[in-house]
Amino acid sequence: MGLTIFLDGEFVDKEHAKVSVFDHGLLYGDGIFEGIRAYGRKVFRLDAHLDRLYAGLKKIRLSPPMAKEDLKKKILETLKRNDLDDAYIRVVVTRGVGDLGLDPRKCGKPTVFIIADKIALYPREFYTKGLPIVIAKTRRNHPSSMPPEVKSLNYLNSIFGKMDAIDAGTDEAIMLTTDGYVAECTGDNIFIARNGKLSTPPYEIGSLDGITQNVVIQLAGEAGIKIKRDMLTPDDLYAADECFLTGTAAEVIPVISVNGTLIAGGIPGKITIAMMNAFSELTGIEGVKY
């Protein structure tokens, strides 16, 4: 049996899960999305993802088409109907169908869909050997142009960054702010370790307020590792003892080089490994059951 998708109040087969070409999510990227993970029939940090989604909707002045608790129930039901133990969940709310103009007031009703599918994991060797990354040529959107806390459907800025990574023969790239500070990667947040302490950039400068990033901040605190929100430059990366990335899809992944310069001698560092282990332990025990 194929996938069952939740679309605008109904559960439909993947083949019938279609949206209009007049949907402003498609025409203009006008909408919000979330990527969520389930581990062993438990959804990890579901409330945090829903809170970020609803904060994004508020920011783009889109009245939520359903209450948070109802959307939560539909996410859990989508997982159950697809009988998935481990899953990647995509929740999307668009401005809905309108005309060919930008005016969001012309869109009558938001489109909502939930896809729950198997997860395509990064190759295991990235986690043991670490990931080489580069600094993207493309700069991160300026926060005054695109509020960084909004996980909008318009991801072209990240896609340009991803193409910079691909051009350099790597899988991920660091995106700097317009004034040259480290913001984040195209789809992950970034941490460095120096002298036994962790640093990660403040989201206000232009990165997503990452849920995995916040989990790592919590785990570091519990492990007694000092952690600070810091303005970081490319030189701070090159001089770091360790570097790793965090994201719902990537989890915690070691970085072993930036633009060809080896970090930590090219092997995943101690704090990185401790955070990877603590994260994996937490996802095994915490979550909303379905």
Would you please indicate which residues are annotated as catalytic (active-site) residues?
A: 151
Phi then psi for residue 99, to 5 deg, are -105, -165
Tokens of 31: 């909408």
Q: Hey, what amino acid is at 131?
A: L
Q: Nearer to ligand PMP by C-beta: 4 or 213?
A: 213
Rounded to whole angstroms, the Cα distance separating 254 from 244 reads: 4
Q: Nearer to ligand PMP by C-beta: 164 or 184?
A: 184
Rounded to whole angstroms, the Cα distance separating 212 from 34 reads: 13
Q: What is the nearest approach in angstroms of ligand PMP to the Cβ of residue 241?
A: 23
Q: What is the nearest approach in angstroms of ligand PMP to the Cβ of residue 192?
A: 16
Q: Nearer to ligand PMP by C-beta: 212 or 257?
A: 212
Interface with ligand PMP (CB under 6 A): 35, 158, 184, 187-189, 207-208, 210-213, 246-249
Instruction: Confirm if 242 and 270 have CB atoms less than 8 A apart.
Output: yes
Angle between helices 46-59 and 68-81 (to 10 degrees): 130
Phi then psi for residue 171, to 5 deg, are -105, -15
Q: What is the nearest approach in angstroms of ligand PMP to the Cβ of residue 109?
A: 27
Buried b (16+ CB within 10 A) or exposed e, 10-42: eeeeeeebebeeebbbbbbebbbbbebbbbebb
Q: Nearer to ligand PMP by C-beta: 107 or 183?
A: 183
Q: What is the nearest approach in angstroms of ligand PMP to the Cβ of residue 216?
A: 9
Look-up of token digits 């009558």: 108
